[in-house]
Amino acid sequence: MLCLFASTCLGNEATAQIGLEQTLKDNSQAQIASSEQYLQLLKPQNNTEFLSERATNSIAGLPSANNVTSINSPTTIDGLAFNGYGQLVIQASRAISYRSSLSLPTNTYSITIPATRISSQLRRPILGANSPIEQIRLNQVGDAVIVNVKTIAGWQIRETVRTNASEIALQLTSVAQTSASSFPTSRSKPQNTYSNVNGRQLVVIDPGHGGPDVGATRNGVYEKDITLAMSKQLGRILQQMGYAVIYTRTEDIDLDLEPRVQIAENARASAFVSVHVNSLDANASQVSGVETYHAPGASLGKSLAEFVHDQILAGTGANDRGVRSARFYVIRNTSMPAILVETGYITNPSEASKLVNGAYQERMAEAIAKGVDQFLKSYRR
């Protein structure tokens, strides 16, 4: 489905949050003057009973010894949440400073926030079974809160973003596992090396829609699910080819169009690929095939679109509906070569059955990756 303007694709924000697991440890007798709180969030092991059972285990039982009784209420760490930018946001009650570091051996990003307390009402994010985050731990050490975020293999947090003075956003990035040890470990690394880490070009992949915005739908099948599955395949294949990859979303979350563009701009991507599924009304169910879009007048975008479109036709045998130009928000507002691929019509019964098929999704992803690779090899900045 096509989105011409950011406002047309806004949905309601999904705000429900439950905690999965918490462990409280009172180390007050252990050492000196620092009482330590220890909170842990773990991914569920494909066990929803576990999830809901743990969710009832409220955090209200924090030891009262850990509540600061100062007259001026301290700055508190109030919550962690995914913001729809593919970022995990740490939210405080007022302005905070911090320092951060990445431990490569443990794949853990650590943020130390001085002069803060963990709120007794801490809001915690849902970590889905497919979440790139394995574990989040909060420790109260003296008057500082230390947040440790451990990612699964193939994913890292490589930079932080200040959205406002009381928030720190952590950008999750998909990385090639083989070269994980060669990534910068300090956030002092200049950002302009980001798009070309160790000579590897960066591709931003944008799975269309998400959350309450399901995109095109037919017979209970949602565009948002097909685009996410294809995009993850595409990212995996591009990484195998040696590219760095950032996704605009990796979960089923609501995400406006502007932040999708911003992620690509901030990352200084070499190419931007938005993945969509098309639809028409019931009396046009015979229409099927692939359309690949670039922004009007974008010659590099057009070239990228042609490489990708040719590969899709060759790799999938899909009906050729042409390389086209259109003023879609995400390809019009990105400064790098950008395309939007309509990978097929969910309203055509035969094509719909292919679009939900994992093997076909992989063939589509492979074809898009080949086209991107050909384009980037033919064009070096």
**Which is the catalytic residue, given 258, 342, 351, 362?**
342
Question: Which stretch, 16-24, 148-156, 174-182, 272-280, contacts Zn ion (CB under 5 A)?
Answer: 272-280
**7 three-class SS:** helix
Residue 262: both structure tokens together: 């911003």
Nearest approach in angstroms of CB 232 to Zn ion is 17
Decide: is 230 part of the binding site for Zn ion (CB under 5 A): no
Distance CA 205, CA 173 (A): 11
Distance CA 226, CA 229 (A): 5
DSSP per position, 279-343: ---GGGTT---EEEEE-TT-HHHHHHHHHHHHHHHHHH---EEEEEE---HHHHS-SS-EEEEEE
Nearer to Zn ion, 49 or 281 (CB): 281
Distance CA 224, CA 241 (A): 26
Asked if 131 contacts 26 with a C-beta cutoff of 8 angstroms, the reply is no
**132 three-class SS:** coil
Interface residue with Zn ion among 200, 249, 260, 276 (CB under 5 A) is: 276
Nearer to Zn ion, 210 or 371 (CB): 210
Residue 45: both structure tokens together: 């092991």
Nearest approach in angstroms of CB 293 to Zn ion is 11
Residue 146: both structure tokens together: 């230390």
Nearest approach in angstroms of CB 304 to Zn ion is 19
Decide: is 235 part of the binding site for Zn ion (CB under 5 A): no
| Nearest Cα residue to 2 out of 215, 198, 163, 247 | 215
Distance CA 307, CA 292 (A): 10
Decide: is 102 part of the binding site for Zn ion (CB under 5 A): no
The residues pairing with 144 across neighbouring beta strands, listed in sequence order, are: 141
Is 342 a residue of the active site? Answer: yes
Instruction: List binders of Zn ion among 209-228 (CB under 5 A).
Output: 215
Asked if 217 contacts 229 with a C-beta cutoff of 8 angstroms, the reply is no
Interface pattern 16-55 for Zn ion (x via CB under 5 A): ----------------------------------------
Total of chain residues touching Zn ion, rule CB under 5 A: 4
Nearest approach in angstroms of CB 83 to Zn ion is 22
Distance CA 269, CA 249 (A): 15
Decide: is 275 part of the binding site for Zn ion (CB under 5 A): no
Decide: is 337 part of the binding site for Zn ion (CB under 5 A): no
Decide: is 79 part of the binding site for Zn ion (CB under 5 A): no
Interface pattern 181-210 for Zn ion (x via CB under 5 A): ---------------------------x--
Nearer to Zn ion, 175 or 277 (CB): 277
Nearest approach in angstroms of CB 212 to Zn ion is 14
Nearest approach in angstroms of CB 203 to Zn ion is 19
Decide: is 289 part of the binding site for Zn ion (CB under 5 A): no
Decide: is 260 part of the binding site for Zn ion (CB under 5 A): no
**256 three-class SS:** coil
* Active site members: 342
Give the interface with Zn ion as residue ranges (CB under 5 A): 1, 208, 215, 276
